[in-house]
Structure 1
Amino acid sequence: MKANELSKKCETYIEDLISQIKEDSVTVTEYLDFCSRFHVYSFRNKLLIWKARPNATRVAGFSAWLKLGRCVKKGEKGIPIFAPMRIRKVEDNEDGSAEETEPKTFFRVVYIWDVSQTEGDALPDAPDTRCVTGTSRDILPAMENLVRSRGITLQYADISKAYGTSQIGKIVVRASMNENEKFSVLAHELTHEILHTRKERRALKEKVKEAEAEASAYTVCRHFGLETKAPTYLALYRVEEVDVRASLGRVVQTAPTIIQGVTKQIPALKRAA
């Protein structure tokens, strides 16, 4: 498959997803659940994998599976995704010398397979979720460290009107909540800090900002195995006059930033223990 053909197919998938979101909030949580498992992939590649194999759990290329002692089963079709490649061109100058141009990024089509399409050696746990799934005791301190590492003041206080607040450079969280709730609220408020700058806060409607923050927090919590309820305003279709495509793009970009940031903080916490 050529890159332009895959681009057209991806565009169709995006339009379908937006239509489904406008009609059914369940689609939002299904897509975000999927995104929580594949945070290292781009928005387009996540969508391509989801449409091809919605139950995928771990994907890799043909050679990568061989290195892990597994091979693709006969007859299994690969999942086409985009892979970037940077190309430099050499141009001749007037004096006859050659000069390299600035590299440009192009995209080619590569194929990956889900683990369910392979057979062979047993696999170790995925490295970025090992020892953190299912409990907030390890990851809450990691989230707190991430917040502070970004120069954001974090305060726990007895607040009653909200679970937490984002004040551009300061996050306040209700102190009486349990660890899971604190982690979820921190993910929500950190999304505001990362995504909603002073300019964005003035430009976007409150419903849009809250939907984006909650969708991001939901994705982060699901990645780390924390049970979290999807509130009604998680459905982006409920937000009037919102560019759903832009909101999805922002969520899919921000949640992985938080996931990777929390994950990087965990080894330091374990060394200090």
Structure 2
Amino acid sequence: MSSFDDLFRQEYEQPATKSDQAFDKEAWKQQKREQREMVYCLIDNMAVTIAQNGAKFQGYLDVQSRFDRYSVANTLLILAQKPSATRIADFDAWKEQGVYIRKKESGFYILEPGEEYQRNDGTTGINYNPKKMFDISQTGNAHKRETPTYPDDRTRIKALMDHTPVPIRICETLPSGVNALYSSEAREIQIRRGMDAGSIFRALSQELAHAEMDKGDQSYNRTEHGFHAYCVSYMLCKQYSVETSSFYHFEGAPQELSALEPQEIRAELSVMKEAANEISGRINRMLAQQRQQKRPEPER
């Protein structure tokens, strides 16, 4: 008769499958510090790069228009690591959606808020930690990218005009070559009669950007904020599929940014992002309301 005693002996003789090596918390913390330093260095380097290269700057605006709710820092990180990204999530989020990451895809980092801490002056700060992300192009669902849908010209313009911070009126006396003009003194936008839909959106979005940046104090200056408004208009056109190729040009380095330090560049980019988000927020709310109204009533 065969014996099975050897099975019980192996249970005690075989080494445990768990690793004997203890978790090294200090080594882990050091690794996280090095990751943060790498990420922040990448942000600063990319900020300097876009301020010295017109094509890279336009690339930044393209990425920010696709990821309009992401911070300037994270947009710079996406531009530096995965500029073609269209839809990103971390490994667990993709897994929850039943989507797998393809083999040999390394991912890229953005920053996410961590724990709060007290600064020396008593104010509260937030630690930001690197988080690895993957674009949909790095997944098994790369061929299933969603095709965005856009409103028709009339709906798009009505959404742009919805709940604007200043009134808009047609003007017959605008200077030659000027399609729309924001007046800080009158607190209104004048627009030329008889333009096509694309011209209306491009001109009006730029002047609305001026209106958004004019907070009624001494911080606003039309000349100084002209480039900001130009960039806001470009981002909104990209976001809502309005023609840009023949109307916006970024060949040279942005002179407004080229002499600034990385943190100052990010501050100027934030002004553009905030103005664009105010306008796109109103557009999206109106478009969402229209979609809701068009939904068929459920059968009773």
For normalisation by structure 2, the TM-score amounts to: 0.71
Name the aligned partner's letter for residue 181 of structure 2. Answer: T
The structure that is strand-richer by fraction is 1
CA separation of 1:200 and 1:4: change in aligned 2, threshold 3 A: farther
Task: Specify the SS of the correspondent of 1:33.
Answer: helix
Deviation at 1:268, TM superposition (A): 2.1
- Equivalence for 1:181: 199
Asked if the contact 1:159–1:173 (Cα under 8 Å) also holds between the matched residues in 2, the reply is no
- The match for 2:156 is 139
Aligned to 1:210: 226
Equivalent residue, structure 1, for 2:3: none
| Identity %, equivalent residues | 20
Residue by residue over 1:111-131, the C-alpha shift from the partner in whole angstroms, topping out at 9 and shown as x without a partner, is: 1100011114975737xxx53
Aligned equivalent of 1:61: 90
**Structure whose alpha-carbon radius of gyration is higher:** 2
In 1: Cα distance, 2:173 partner to 2:56 partner: 33
CA distance in 2, matches of 1:188, 1:163: 10
Q: Secondary structure at the match of 2:220?
A: helix
Match for residue 280 of structure 2 among 251, 259, 263 = 259
The answer for the alignment partner of 1:21 in structure 2 is 51
Any unmatched runs of 5+ in structure 1?
90-100
Q: Secondary structure at the match of 1:83?
A: strand
CA contact (8 A) 1:82 1:108 kept: yes
Instruction: Tell whether the 8 Å contact from 2:89 to 2:133 is kept in structure 1 after alignment.
Output: yes
- 1:161-220 Cα deviation digits (max 9, x unpaired): 122122243222222221111112221111111123341234xx71x3111100111011
Query: Which of 140, 158, 164 pairs up with 2:172?
Result: 158
RMSD: 3.1
Q: Is the 8 A contact 1:72 1:117 kept in 2?
A: yes
Q: How many residues align?
A: 251
How far did 1:260 drift? Answer: 2.8
Report the AA paired with residue 21 of structure 1: A
2:130 partner SS: strand
Match runs of 1:20-169 below 5 Å: 20-22=50-52, 24-87=53-116, 105-120=126-141, 123=144, 125=146, 130-132=148-150, 135-147=152-164, 150=165, 152-161=166-175, 162-168=178-184, 169=187
Q: Is the 8 A contact 1:3 1:108 kept in 2?
A: no
Q: For each residue in 1:93-143, what CA deviation from the matched residue of structure 2 results, as whole angstroms up to 9, or x when unmatched?
A: xxxxxxxx99753222211100011114975737xxx5326x433211111
Divergent runs of 4+, >6 A: none
Specify every segment of 5 or more residues in structure 2 that has no aligned partner in the other structure, as ranges: 1-30, 295-300
- Name the structure 2 match of 1:225: 241
Distance change >3 Å, CA 69–CA 144, structure 1 → 2:
same
Q: Residues 272 and 73 of structure 1: is their aligned pair in 2 closer, same or farther, counting only changes over 3 Å? A: closer
